[in-house]
Amino acid sequence: MNKQTSKRFKPDISLERKPFYLRSQMIWIGLVTGVIITAVFVMVTAVRAQTNTVQLSGGESVDVLCEGRGFQIERVSRREINLICQAGSQTQPTPTAQPPVDPTNPPPQPTVPPPQPPPTAPAPGTPVANACQTVTGLMPLNDLGSGSYQGFQGGLYPGGTNAAPTDYLNRAMQAVNNINTNEPFVLLSIGMSNTMREFETFQQVADADTRKNPNLIIINGAQTSQDSATISDPNADYWAGVDSKLTQIRLT
Protein backbone atom coordinates (compact mmCIF):
# COMPACT_ATOMS: atom_id res chain seq x y z
CA MET A 1 0.00 0.00 0.00
CA ASN A 2 1.38 3.19 -1.07
CA LYS A 3 1.25 5.72 1.60
CA GLN A 4 0.91 9.20 0.22
CA THR A 5 2.25 11.95 2.27
CA SER A 6 0.24 15.14 1.96
CA LYS A 7 2.11 18.38 2.14
CA ARG A 8 0.41 21.61 3.08
CA PHE A 9 0.79 24.17 0.33
CA LYS A 10 2.34 27.43 1.50
CA PRO A 11 2.00 30.13 -1.12
CA ASP A 12 4.97 32.40 -1.74
CA ILE A 13 3.77 35.83 -0.69
CA SER A 14 7.09 37.58 -1.38
CA LEU A 15 5.89 38.44 -4.88
CA GLU A 16 2.69 39.89 -3.50
CA ARG A 17 4.50 42.12 -0.98
CA LYS A 18 6.95 43.69 -3.44
CA PRO A 19 4.42 45.94 -5.17
CA PHE A 20 3.24 47.16 -1.78
CA TYR A 21 6.81 47.97 -0.71
CA LEU A 22 7.45 49.82 -3.98
CA ARG A 23 4.32 51.87 -3.55
CA SER A 24 5.35 52.82 -0.01
CA GLN A 25 8.81 53.88 -1.11
CA MET A 26 7.37 55.97 -3.94
CA ILE A 27 5.03 57.71 -1.50
CA TRP A 28 7.90 58.56 0.87
CA ILE A 29 10.07 59.80 -2.00
CA GLY A 30 7.21 61.98 -3.23
CA LEU A 31 6.64 63.42 0.25
CA VAL A 32 10.33 64.23 0.74
CA THR A 33 10.58 65.76 -2.74
CA GLY A 34 7.52 67.89 -2.07
CA VAL A 35 8.97 69.12 1.21
CA ILE A 36 12.26 70.05 -0.48
CA ILE A 37 10.51 71.86 -3.34
CA THR A 38 8.31 73.74 -0.88
CA ALA A 39 11.34 74.80 1.20
CA VAL A 40 13.21 76.01 -1.88
CA PHE A 41 10.16 77.93 -3.06
CA VAL A 42 9.81 79.62 0.33
CA MET A 43 13.50 80.59 0.37
CA VAL A 44 13.37 81.99 -3.16
CA THR A 45 10.22 83.93 -2.32
CA ALA A 46 11.89 85.36 0.80
CA VAL A 47 14.98 86.42 -1.13
CA ARG A 48 12.89 87.99 -3.87
CA ALA A 49 10.86 89.81 -1.24
CA GLN A 50 14.08 91.35 0.09
CA THR A 51 15.22 92.50 -3.37
CA ASN A 52 14.26 95.97 -4.58
CA THR A 53 14.90 96.62 -8.26
CA VAL A 54 14.99 100.36 -9.03
CA GLN A 55 15.63 102.01 -12.37
CA LEU A 56 16.97 105.56 -12.19
CA SER A 57 17.53 108.15 -14.84
CA GLY A 58 20.09 110.93 -14.67
CA GLY A 59 19.77 113.14 -11.59
CA GLU A 60 17.33 110.82 -9.70
CA SER A 61 17.91 109.23 -6.32
CA VAL A 62 16.16 106.60 -4.19
CA ASP A 63 15.91 105.83 -0.47
CA VAL A 64 16.22 102.11 0.42
CA LEU A 65 14.38 100.99 3.56
CA CYS A 66 15.54 97.63 4.91
CA GLU A 67 14.01 97.97 8.38
CA GLY A 68 17.28 99.05 9.92
CA ARG A 69 19.37 96.49 8.04
CA GLY A 70 22.07 97.13 5.51
CA PHE A 71 21.80 96.29 1.85
CA GLN A 72 24.03 94.97 -0.88
CA ILE A 73 24.25 96.19 -4.46
CA GLU A 74 24.01 93.55 -7.19
CA ARG A 75 24.60 94.69 -10.75
CA VAL A 76 22.01 93.45 -13.26
CA SER A 77 23.02 95.35 -16.38
CA ARG A 78 24.76 98.56 -17.35
CA ARG A 79 21.69 100.54 -16.25
CA GLU A 80 20.12 98.31 -13.57
CA ILE A 81 21.16 97.19 -10.09
CA ASN A 82 19.47 95.14 -7.37
CA LEU A 83 19.42 96.44 -3.80
CA ILE A 84 19.30 93.32 -1.60
CA CYS A 85 18.53 93.75 2.08
CA GLN A 86 20.95 91.85 4.27
CA ALA A 87 19.78 89.12 6.63
CA GLY A 88 19.63 89.70 10.35
CA SER A 89 18.16 92.55 12.29
CA GLN A 90 19.50 95.84 13.45
CA THR A 91 17.96 98.21 15.86
CA GLN A 92 16.31 101.12 14.10
CA PRO A 93 17.39 104.42 15.66
CA THR A 94 14.57 106.03 17.53
CA PRO A 95 13.87 109.56 16.32
CA THR A 96 14.37 112.21 18.93
CA ALA A 97 11.21 113.98 19.86
CA GLN A 98 11.31 117.70 19.24
CA PRO A 99 9.97 119.94 21.97
CA PRO A 100 6.91 121.98 21.05
CA VAL A 101 7.61 125.49 19.83
CA ASP A 102 6.24 128.31 21.94
CA PRO A 103 4.75 130.88 19.54
CA THR A 104 5.35 133.64 22.09
CA ASN A 105 9.04 132.77 22.44
CA PRO A 106 10.37 131.45 19.09
CA PRO A 107 13.91 130.04 18.95
CA PRO A 108 16.62 132.44 17.78
CA GLN A 109 17.37 132.41 14.08
CA PRO A 110 20.96 132.17 12.78
CA THR A 111 22.52 135.51 12.02
CA VAL A 112 23.44 136.04 8.38
CA PRO A 113 26.40 138.42 7.94
CA PRO A 114 25.72 141.35 5.63
CA PRO A 115 27.27 141.20 2.16
CA GLN A 116 30.73 142.70 1.94
CA PRO A 117 31.60 145.20 -0.80
CA PRO A 118 34.14 144.02 -3.38
CA PRO A 119 37.76 145.01 -2.67
CA THR A 120 38.92 148.17 -4.32
CA ALA A 121 42.27 148.68 -6.01
CA PRO A 122 44.80 150.68 -3.96
CA ALA A 123 45.62 154.19 -5.02
CA PRO A 124 48.73 154.65 -7.18
CA GLY A 125 51.87 154.75 -5.08
CA THR A 126 50.22 153.04 -2.11
CA PRO A 127 52.14 149.97 -0.86
CA VAL A 128 50.03 146.82 -0.89
CA ALA A 129 52.24 144.82 1.48
CA ASN A 130 54.65 145.54 4.29
CA ALA A 131 57.80 143.98 2.84
CA CYS A 132 59.92 145.64 5.53
CA GLN A 133 58.93 142.88 7.94
CA THR A 134 60.24 140.10 5.66
CA VAL A 135 63.70 138.95 6.69
CA THR A 136 65.33 136.25 4.59
CA GLY A 137 68.96 136.69 5.63
CA LEU A 138 69.94 137.20 1.98
CA MET A 139 71.51 140.47 0.87
CA PRO A 140 70.94 141.98 -2.59
CA LEU A 141 73.97 142.37 -4.81
CA ASN A 142 73.75 146.18 -4.83
CA ASP A 143 73.66 146.22 -0.99
CA LEU A 144 76.65 143.94 -0.58
CA GLY A 145 79.14 146.76 -1.19
CA SER A 146 82.76 145.73 -0.81
CA GLY A 147 81.70 142.42 0.75
CA SER A 148 81.83 139.16 -1.16
CA TYR A 149 79.54 136.25 -1.92
CA GLN A 150 80.96 132.89 -2.98
CA GLY A 151 84.29 134.64 -3.56
CA PHE A 152 82.81 137.42 -5.76
CA GLN A 153 82.79 141.05 -4.71
CA GLY A 154 79.47 142.85 -4.41
CA GLY A 155 78.26 145.94 -6.21
CA LEU A 156 77.25 146.44 -9.83
CA TYR A 157 80.70 147.63 -10.86
CA PRO A 158 84.29 146.87 -9.78
CA GLY A 159 85.29 148.08 -6.32
CA GLY A 160 81.93 147.20 -4.76
CA THR A 161 80.26 150.33 -6.12
CA ASN A 162 76.91 150.71 -7.86
CA ALA A 163 77.99 153.78 -9.87
CA ALA A 164 79.61 153.27 -13.26
CA PRO A 165 83.27 154.44 -13.47
CA THR A 166 83.63 157.79 -15.24
CA ASP A 167 85.80 156.49 -18.07
CA TYR A 168 83.46 153.57 -18.70
CA LEU A 169 80.39 155.82 -18.68
CA ASN A 170 81.97 158.34 -21.09
CA ARG A 171 82.87 155.64 -23.60
CA ALA A 172 79.34 154.19 -23.40
CA MET A 173 77.72 157.58 -24.00
CA GLN A 174 80.05 158.24 -26.95
CA ALA A 175 79.02 154.91 -28.52
CA VAL A 176 75.35 155.78 -28.04
CA ASN A 177 75.77 159.16 -29.71
CA ASN A 178 77.44 157.51 -32.70
CA ILE A 179 74.35 155.41 -33.45
CA ASN A 180 72.55 156.48 -36.62
CA THR A 181 68.90 155.64 -36.03
CA ASN A 182 68.12 156.29 -39.68
CA GLU A 183 69.96 153.10 -40.58
CA PRO A 184 69.61 149.55 -39.20
CA PHE A 185 71.08 149.24 -35.69
CA VAL A 186 71.09 146.37 -33.22
CA LEU A 187 70.17 145.83 -29.59
CA LEU A 188 72.07 142.65 -28.60
CA SER A 189 71.75 140.69 -25.34
CA ILE A 190 74.86 139.10 -23.81
CA GLY A 191 74.62 136.46 -21.08
CA MET A 192 73.68 132.90 -20.14
CA SER A 193 70.39 130.95 -19.92
CA ASN A 194 68.70 133.31 -17.43
CA THR A 195 69.41 136.27 -19.70
CA MET A 196 68.21 134.30 -22.72
CA ARG A 197 64.80 133.53 -21.18
CA GLU A 198 64.19 137.02 -19.84
CA PHE A 199 65.28 138.65 -23.08
CA GLU A 200 62.93 136.45 -25.11
CA THR A 201 59.95 137.99 -23.31
CA PHE A 202 61.37 141.50 -23.64
CA GLN A 203 61.95 140.96 -27.36
CA GLN A 204 58.35 139.85 -27.93
CA VAL A 205 56.97 142.89 -26.11
CA ALA A 206 59.35 145.35 -27.78
CA ASP A 207 58.77 144.03 -31.31
CA ALA A 208 55.01 144.38 -30.81
CA ASP A 209 55.34 148.01 -29.66
CA THR A 210 54.37 150.43 -32.44
CA ARG A 211 56.61 153.10 -30.92
CA LYS A 212 59.75 151.10 -31.61
CA ASN A 213 62.05 152.51 -34.29
CA PRO A 214 61.55 150.34 -37.40
CA ASN A 215 65.32 150.38 -37.96
CA LEU A 216 65.99 148.79 -34.57
CA ILE A 217 66.79 145.06 -34.77
CA ILE A 218 66.63 143.15 -31.49
CA ILE A 219 68.78 139.99 -31.26
CA ASN A 220 68.97 137.56 -28.35
CA GLY A 221 72.67 136.73 -28.15
CA ALA A 222 72.52 134.97 -24.76
CA GLN A 223 73.37 131.27 -24.69
CA THR A 224 72.88 128.42 -22.24
CA SER A 225 75.69 127.61 -19.74
CA GLN A 226 77.82 130.57 -20.81
CA ASP A 227 78.62 132.44 -17.60
CA SER A 228 80.69 135.60 -17.25
CA ALA A 229 83.88 133.66 -16.48
CA THR A 230 83.54 131.87 -19.82
CA ILE A 231 82.59 134.78 -22.06
CA SER A 232 85.25 137.05 -20.57
CA ASP A 233 87.67 135.26 -22.92
CA PRO A 234 87.46 137.01 -26.34
CA ASN A 235 88.41 133.72 -28.01
CA ALA A 236 85.59 131.72 -26.35
CA ASP A 237 83.18 129.78 -28.57
CA TYR A 238 80.40 131.99 -27.22
CA TRP A 239 81.44 134.88 -29.45
CA ALA A 240 81.43 132.67 -32.52
CA GLY A 241 77.75 131.98 -31.78
CA VAL A 242 77.01 135.70 -31.48
CA ASP A 243 78.77 136.43 -34.78
CA SER A 244 76.76 133.65 -36.44
CA LYS A 245 73.45 135.23 -35.39
CA LEU A 246 74.56 138.63 -36.70
CA THR A 247 75.79 137.16 -39.98
CA GLN A 248 72.43 135.48 -40.62
CA ILE A 249 70.77 138.89 -40.90
CA ARG A 250 73.77 140.47 -42.66
CA LEU A 251 74.98 142.52 -39.70
CA THR A 252 78.36 142.86 -38.06
Q: What is the pLDDT of residues 204-225, one digit of tens each?
A: 999 999 999 999 999 999 999 9
Q: What is the mean pLDDT of residues 134-141?
A: 77
Mean pLDDT of the chain: 75
Find the DSSP H helices in 94-236. Answer: 141-144, 166-177, 193-208, 228-231
Q: What is the pTM of this model?
A: 0.42
Let me know: does 55 contact 80? Beta carbons within 8 Å.
Answer: yes
**Whole-angstrom Cα distance, residue 192 to residue 224?**
5
Is the C-alpha dihedral spanning 21, 24, 30, 34 positive or negative? Answer: negative
Give the domain ranges of the chain.
50-55+64-88, 164-252
CB 83 within 8 A of CB 56: no
pLDDT surpasses 70 at 87: no
What is the pLDDT, as a whole number, of residue 2?
Answer: 47
End-to-end CA distance of the chain: 167
Q: Under a CB-based contact definition with an 8 Å cutoff, are residues 64 and 84 in contact?
A: no
pLDDT over threshold 90, residue 231:
yes
Q: Got the DSSP string for 128-147?
A: SS-GGG---S---HHHHTT-
